Amino acid sequence: MTDIKSITTQNMTISALQDAYRSGELNVASFLAAKLQQAKDDQNNVWLATVSDQQLTEMLAALSEKSIEDLPLYGVPFAIKDNIDLNILPTTAGCEAYRYQPEQSAQVVQLLMAAGAIPLGKTNLDQFATGLVGVRSPWGGVKNSFNPEYISGGSSSGSAVAVANGNVSFSLGTDTAGSGRVPAALNNIVGLKATKGLLSCTGVVPACKSLDCVTFFANTVDELNELLTIAAKQDMNDCYSRLNLGADDVYQPESGLRSLKIGVPEQEQLAFFGDESAQALFANSVEQLKQAGAEVVTINFQPFLDAAKLLYEGPWVAERYAAIEEFFVNDSKQCLPVIETIIGGATSHSAVSAFKAMYKLQAFKVKCDAILETLDCVVTPTTGTTYTIADVEADPIQLNSNLGYYTNFMNLLDYAAIAVPAGFLASGLPYGITLFGPAFSDRLLLSAGAKIQQLNNFTLGATEQALNDVSDKASDEQIDIAVCGAHLTGFPLNHQLTERGGYLVKSCNTSADYRFYALAGGPPFRPGLIRVAEDGAAIEVEVWRIPVSTVGSFLQGIGQPLGLGKVELDDSSWVTSFICEGYAIDSATDITHFGGWRAYFASKTTLNV
């Protein structure tokens, strides 16, 4: 029998949900009715329209005539970005004046519903799918699932947050410049931008028709793989549709990263826009790939970056104009000002400039393809950083451009990509990485992404639900350890963590209950963290995860007056950490006012480490 607790705590992965249906733990009708009500009650600007109670009843009646054993998505709730047609609800593409009632659903929606999935409604987006921020909507910006003051990412903002918040099991988005990857990274879920044409765009309001891709958001990579299998069907009504190649059908998460040759951009070609915690997390992700058996090689990333500039600086913006030309010419003021500015700029481009840009793109593609031919895939940050909603509203064009630094080239060059969670920033917001490869490398990318997700074993989205497919580095066989000094990323003893298979989980602060000291002796120079009853402060730390089997050898390397104990973090959780014997402060220097070892270290430029 479905109850309130099962509704709010239910594992929303497809396999777990169907197991609950089979066992009788959940009743399909009452559970989906509760999920629909959850969508109706949303306060995060996620939903633009939901199905009616009557429409849900009708879909459930049709479902009841089928068997759960025959339908891989039986009773699985999903969300649809509101530039993708669902025949029982209107499509707006994020613009009220553009609203129309489709006669039939998009092909990808039809395929998912034929497999048993139940749509709950249409989700918010950056207007006409133009933006990577998630705030360019007349209905209000979609709030990040972790912190409502931050952006959710766009343009598929509502679709990503609907999954991250546990309202649906998966969702449909679209991706022209990164809209199927950026929101995944900013909400701690996975996103697949499959090879262009694998998922039909029939029934999708175009952004750039020659580049557009329908995308999936889900909690796990296994689910992305299942959804791709169901929905990747050739569509003769979509002139860009392509039949999947047989070589792209092998999904092997168990081998995942072993023996893969993975490219990483040169250090000076990486951009983090001042976000040191993002830089540290990406460095940790690269190290994790190495530890998992991948060969990581540095590549020249400049041709990819040059190609990316063509998307908005070149004539491809004219495709956005072509998609809504009649509507735009009749009254461009119906668009948000920022959208009017972007799309209106298309009229300055000529056919001559379009051909010149195509020649440039082809030249870049030759260079980029040659680089990819030597690799299995490339890893980059999904975004270099994230921003508050206020930041983006103050500088909408430049910050949106920053978010597309690693994404804008992908469809121009005809590549496939998967976005996977990779930790948490100092702000507490999720951070992600992207793996990309040539067209029809989808299964290889999914296999590698699944292994990365297993290794990290983060919680799913913004819920407290742990990943089901627990690997040999699962949480019950690992321990999180907070470090605050010489073991921090980039410092002399960090290797003691990485050589034990450790990886960075997040950068954060302690609670405001500690004093911080520079201990006598060295090198290596070390700090001491001591809890106090009053006059305490928050101190910067990194939380690392290492296998339990390596803790003994790690402890042997810790000298007096330090040891391992428990420290409270700023989210009120407690974690194993370096702590210091009280006697040591007699010969130590109080450096609490620096707020952390990095700031103190930076002030001591003559320190020899």
Q: Is 179 a catalytic residue?
A: yes
N-terminal to C-terminal alpha carbon distance within the chain: 62
Residues 241, 246: Cα–Cα separation, whole Å? 16
Helix (H) or strand (E) holding 28: helix 28-40
Active-site pick, 105, 155, 169, 507: 155
Q: Is 333 a catalytic residue?
A: no
CB atoms within 10 A of CB 353: 13
Residue 444's region, left for phi above 0, alpha for psi from -120 to 50, else beta, is alpha
Q: Does residue 474 sit in helix, strand or coil?
A: coil
Residue pair 193/213 in contact (Cβ under 8 Å)? The answer is yes
Q: Which residues contact 351 (CB under 8 A, 6 or more apart)?
A: none
Q: Does residue 507 sit in helix, strand or coil?
A: strand
The dihedral over CA atoms of 364, 403, 392, 154, expressed in degrees to the nearest 10, equals 100
Residues 164, 428: Cα–Cα separation, whole Å? 15
Q: Is 155 a catalytic residue?
A: yes
Residue pair 85/35 in contact (Cβ under 8 Å)? The answer is no
Residues 559, 316: Cα–Cα separation, whole Å? 60
Q: Which residues contact 330 (CB under 8 A, 6 or more apart)?
A: none
CB atoms within 10 A of CB 563: 13
**What is the dihedral sign for C-alpha 80, 85, 89, 93?**
positive
Residue pair 194/180 in contact (Cβ under 8 Å)? The answer is no
Residues 570, 562: Cα–Cα separation, whole Å? 22
Residue pair 370/348 in contact (Cβ under 8 Å)? The answer is no
Task: Kindly state the tokens that stand for 468.
Answer: 């089901």
Burial code (b: 16+ CB inside 10 Å, e: under 16) for 103-123 equals: eebbbbbbbbbebbbbbbbbb
Q: Where are the alpha helices (DSSP H) in 276-350?
A: 276-291, 302-313, 317-323, 325-330, 337-344
Active-site pick, 179, 285, 427, 507: 179
Residue 395's region, left for phi above 0, alpha for psi from -120 to 50, else beta, is beta
Residue pair 137/45 in contact (Cβ under 8 Å)? The answer is yes
The dihedral over CA atoms of 124, 177, 257, 287, expressed in degrees to the nearest 10, equals -100
Active-site pick, 35, 81, 196, 365: 81
Residue numbers annotated as active site: 81, 155, 179
